[in-house]
A = this chain, B = another copy of it.
Amino acid sequence: MSESLAPRAAALDAADELAGARKLFALDDAVYLDGNSLGALPAHVPDRIADVVTRQWGQLRIRSWTEGDWWTAPERIGDRIAPLVGAAPGRIVVGDSTSVNVFKAVVGAVRLNPDPARTDVLVDATTFPTDGYIAESAARMTGRRIVPVAPGELAGALGPATAAVLLNHVDYRSGRLHDLPSLTAAVHEAGALAVWDLCHSAGALPVGLDAHGVDLAVGCTYKYLNGGPGSPAYLYVAQRHQAAFDSPLPGWTSHEDPFAMSHAYTPAGGAVRGRVGTPDILSMLALEAALDVWDGVSIDTVRAKSLALTDFFLECVAAYVPEGRVTSLTPAAHAERGSQIALRCDEAPRVMDELIARGVIGDLRRPDVLRFGFTPLYVGFADAERAARVLAEVLSEQPRD
C-alpha cells in the first residue's frame, strides 16, 4: 500500500464548510456510504415523530386534520423540497411511492401530448426497473408503446412518433449523471415531453427543474433527503402544464372541494391535483422534520463537496487498492458523475459482506457491483479514506475468483 492519504483527509475535513452538518444526524463509528439507498436519521426526528404520534394523533386525534398540520402536508412539504430541485412553490406535491408517481407522470405526459401519431414513450433502458415496469403499464393503458433507449442514444431515437420520454437523472447502478438541460431540450425539440426521475440526484446536486423547462418529474425522499424508510415520494408538474394535467389517479384529496363529497370530480388547481388518497401522516411529518437539516444549506455547496468526496475516494482507491481488482463504473468527468461511486469487482458479494463487517457500509448490486454513496451532509473525507483503506485490506485478504 502506498503512503497514507489520512493527513490529506484530515485537512480536507478541517476546511469543509458542511462538516458541522454531521452532528445533525444520529451516526455511530461506522462509515455510512449507503445514504443513496436509505438516508441516515436526523437526530431531531424521533422527538418530532413522538409528538405526532402521542399528542397529534393520541390527544388531538381527528382535530389534527383540521386544526393541525395534517391536511395540507402534501403541498406544504412539496414546497420544502422545491428549492432543492429548483422549483418554485406550488409545483410539487408529496405522497405515494415513486412508482405510483411515475405512473401519474407518464400517463399525465401522454395526455398532455395526445396526438395519436405520437405512439411512443421512450424509456431509459438503463433505468431502475420499476420505472420501466410502470412506464410500460402507463403506455399500455394510454394506447402507446414503450421504446427502451440508452440516454446516450436518445437524440437518434427521438422523432415525430415520440410522445414522452422518461429518464433517470442519475443512474442508480453506475452513478452516471445525465445532462438534464440538453436532453430536455432535445426532447422538446422533437415535440415530446420530458419526465425525469430524480431519486438519485435530489439532495445531492442542483437539478433546476423550472430553469431547464422540465415537464414532469418524480423522486423519492428516503435517499439524500433522509425522510426515512419508504417515506413518501413526490411529483413535480411544470406550471404551464398544471391546468391541463389529467391524473390517472384522481383521488378525493385532489378535488377542488374534497369535503363537499361531490359525486362529480372537479380537480383542484396547482400541485394539489397530483394528490390521491388520504395523506400518510406519520411518514409525511417524519419527512417534513427531516428536511430541517437543509435550512441554510446551499445545494451548490453540497454538489461541490460531493464531487470533492468522490474525487478523493477514487484517489484513495487508486492509491490503496491493488491494480486490477476493481474498476470504476462511474464516470470520471464531473459533468457525468452523481454522488456515488460504483466499483465493479469479481468478488463483490463476499467483499461487501466483509466491508460491512468492518464498519464500511455500502451495498451490492448483483452480480458484481460495489456501490458507495456519498452524502455530503454527513460523510467526510476521513470516511472516504477509511472506506478505501478497508476495501484494500479486504481485497488483499480475499483470493481472486
Contact = CB atoms under 8 A, between A and B. Distances in A.
B46 A50 contact: yes
A281 interface: yes
Interface in A183-235: 220, 222, 228-233
A305 to B, nearest CB: 21
Contacts of A46: 50, 53-54, 58
Interface stretch (A59-67, A331-339, A379-387): A59-67
Contact of A50 (B50, B62, B100, B130): B50
A11 interface: no
A276 B100 CA distance: 7
A96 B15 CA distance: 44
Given A28-B59, A129-B255, A230-B280, A100 B99 contact: no
A210 to B, nearest CB: 26
A49 to B, nearest CB: 5
Contact of A251 (B28, B65, B130, B248): B130
With most chain B CB atoms within 10 A of its CB, the pick from A50, A129, A255, A277 is A277
A301 to B, nearest CB: 25
B53 A249 contact: no
Contacts of A40: 58, 61
A361 B61 contact: yes
A151 interface: no
B50 A261 contact: no
Nearest to A125: B263
A78 interface: no
A95 B283 CA distance: 13
A252 B99 contact: yes
A372 interface: no
A316 interface: no
A363 interface: yes
A141 B248 contact: yes
A284 interface: yes
A282 interface: yes
A277 B49 CA distance: 23
A374 interface: no
A260 interface: yes
B129 A262 contact: yes
A32 interface: yes
With most chain B CB atoms within 10 A of its CB, the pick from A70, A132, A255, A262 is A132
A242 to B, nearest CB: 18
A278 B163 CA distance: 28
A128 B261 contact: yes
A100 B231 CA distance: 17
B57 A229 contact: yes
Given A49-B49, A59-B26, A100-B100, A228 B277 contact: no
Contact of A263 (B129, B134, B141, B231): B129
13 contacts: A41-B57, A41-B61, A62-B363, A96-B277, A99-B251, A125-B263, A137-B249, A220-B278, A230-B280, A230-B281, A261-B365, A261-B366, A283-B283
